[in-house]
Amino acid sequence: MRYKIAELLNKSVIKIVLAIVLGFLVGAIALILAGYDPIASYSMMITSIFSSPQNMVQVLILTMPNILTGLSVAFAFKTGLFNIGGEGQYLVGCMAAVIVGGELKMPPVINIIVIMLVAILAGGLYGALAGLLKAKFGIHEVITTIMLNWIALYFNNYLISVPGIGVKNTQYSIAIKQNAWTNILSNWKTSSSGKAYLASHHTLATILLGTDINYGLIIAIAAAIFIWFLLYKTTFGYQVRAVGLNKEAAEFAGIGVNKNIIMTMFVAGGLAGLAGALQMAGSAPHALSTLATEPGYGFNGITVALMANSAPIGCIFTAFLLSGLQFGGSTMQMNLGTPSEVVNIMIGVIVFFVAVASMFTMLSEKIKKRRVKNAD
């Protein structure tokens, strides 16, 4: 029996589940110490997600950028790189999407594809820049990407102040042209026939009119499957993983390590950039806004990737989990006054326990040892 527990502790999935449980536990302790009711808070968090179709859809909408930034971090991890630059690459994708989608007039379907490609390219180049600095100058990507995050943030604010891109006297830029929006049935639901239909179909109305429901999520899931295929079935993926597992052996076998770093960061940046494009195309105000701090999708990506142990398909699920936690946290604050930062603490704890996953391994070994000693 004890041996079975020890074996279980060693499995990666169990370690992650344990980390999540511990995150909830510590969060509960923090709440109790601060004088809030953890049970009420947690049940509000969880039930609020499912309390209305509108809320469920909201969580789904929040999940899309998290999947993509999670993939961005996970893919880079596979080659041994820590991409903290998801924030900046996301913003660069937003900026590219808005400039192309807002200034240029293109026919529908073509325009959204062009916008996505431009955003992927822009985000990819921004990521590749960090890759280049690492490959050529050996500068750690953690520092360069963080610097690039801030630069992108301030550049975003600067763009809004530029006439022609920013809208005068507002905090926003021009918006992407409406025919590029990815919202589901966006034209129909505002037409007269649509409005008439929705008047008698209440649930559908709350979803279509009350949220920004868009098909970005489908693209994000498709991206996850594509990244999985890229990583495990192609020669590029083989190269990425070989370098990540043993850079020196890969170099010795003739694999171009520096080229690999740059290309991997390009893919990672492109994924985050795509998140930016889909966010602009899918959610109001469909435009850039003046920011005081980072929007946070890039950092979410780190949590998503770590919780999924960098597995591309796993990122889909951990992204849902994260979105659920964050959504639940804000409703919890709205309805009960509980600080939403408890969710940040929970996330910090989860990441912490994922980092010390070896603790579970060590515990597992200790249990096994006791058994061996008894057997002698």
The reply to whether 344 sits near another protein by the rule CB under 8 A is yes
Which CB sits closer to another protein, 208 or 250? 250
DSSP string, 170-225: SSEEEEPPGGG--BTTHHHHHSHHHHHHHHH-HHHHHHHHHS--BTHHHHHHHHHH
Interface with another protein, residue 122, by CB under 8 A: no
Q: How far is CA 5 from CA 9, 79, 367, in A?
A: 6, 32, 8
Residue 324 structure tokens: 């659920």
Encoding tokens for residue 112? 């959204």
Among 157, 171, 206, 258, binds another protein (CB under 8 A): 157
Q: Do the strands 287-289 and 172-175 form a parallel or antiparallel pair, or are they unpaired? A: antiparallel
Asked whether position 151 contacts another protein by CB under 8 A, the answer is yes
Among 41, 144, 182, 318, binds another protein (CB under 8 A): 144
Phi, psi of 283 (to 5 degrees): -125, 140
Of 158, 164, 185, 226, the residue at the interface with another protein (CB under 8 A) is 158
Measuring CA to CA, how many Å separate 263 from each of 11, 127, 238, 256, 257? Answer: 32, 9, 13, 11, 10
**Which residue among 251, 317, 320, 367 contacts another protein (CB under 8 A)?**
251
Using rule CB under 8 A, residue 306 touches another protein: yes
The span of 50-58, 95-103, 145-153, 205-213 binding another protein (CB under 8 A) equals: 145-153
* Closer residue to another protein in complex, CB, 108/365: 365
State yes or no: residue 197 binds another protein (CB under 8 A).
no
Place of tokens 């179909």: 201
Applying CB under 8 A, among 22, 146, 209, 221 the residue interacting with another protein is 146
In the region spanning residues 70 to 89, those forming contacts with another protein, defined by CB under 8 A, are 82, 84
The answer to the question of residue 168 lying near another protein (CB under 8 A) is: no
Nearest to 115 by CA among 291, 298, 286, 296: 286
- In the set 249, 313, 334, 335, which binds another protein (CB under 8 A)? 249
Residue 317 makes contact with another protein by CB under 8 A: no
Indicate the residue among 186 and 290 with the shorter CB distance to another protein.
Answer: 290
Tell me: does residue 320 bind another protein (CB under 8 A). no
The sign one gets for the Cα dihedral 322, 324, 330, 333 is negative
Residue at 149: amino acid letter:
N
Structural contact between residues 74 and 306, judged by C-beta atoms closer than 8 angstroms: no
Instruction: Determine, following the binding rule CB under 8 A, whether residue 336 of this chain makes contact with another protein.
Output: no
Q: Quote the CA–CA distance of 73 and 120 in Å, as a whole number.
A: 15
Cross-strand pairs, 312? none
SS3 46: helix
The binder of another protein chosen from 2, 201, 202, 369 (CB under 8 A)? 369
Instruction: Say if residues 311 and 74 touch (Cβ distance below 8 Å).
Output: yes
For position 253 contacting another protein by CB under 8 A, the verdict is yes
Q: Given the rule CB under 8 A, which of 4-12, 98-106, 219-227, 296-304 is the region that contacts another protein?
A: 296-304
d(CA 217, CA 213): 9
Task: Name the minimum Å distance from CB 252 to another protein.
Answer: 4
289: phi then psi, degrees, rounded to nearest 5: -125, 150
Q: From the CB of 226, what's the least distance to another protein, in Å?
A: 13
31 vs 339: CA distance, rounded Å? 9
Q: Is 62 left (phi over 0), alpha (psi -120 to 50) or beta?
A: alpha
Number of residues that bind another protein (CB under 8 A): 70
**Hey, how many other C-beta atoms are within 10 angstroms of the C-beta on 356?**
13
Q: How far apart are CA 236 and CA 252, in angstroms?
A: 17
- Residue 347 within binding range of another protein, rule CB under 8 A: yes
Binding to another protein by CB under 8 A, coded x per residue (else -) over 1-40, reads -----------------------------x---xx-----
Give contact residues for another protein (rule: CB under 8 A).
Answer: 30, 34-35, 82, 84, 133, 137-140, 142-144, 146-148, 150-151, 154-155, 157-158, 161, 233-236, 238-239, 241-242, 245-246, 248-256, 292-293, 299, 302-303, 306, 337, 339, 341-342, 344-345, 347-349, 351-352, 354-359, 362, 365, 368-369, 372
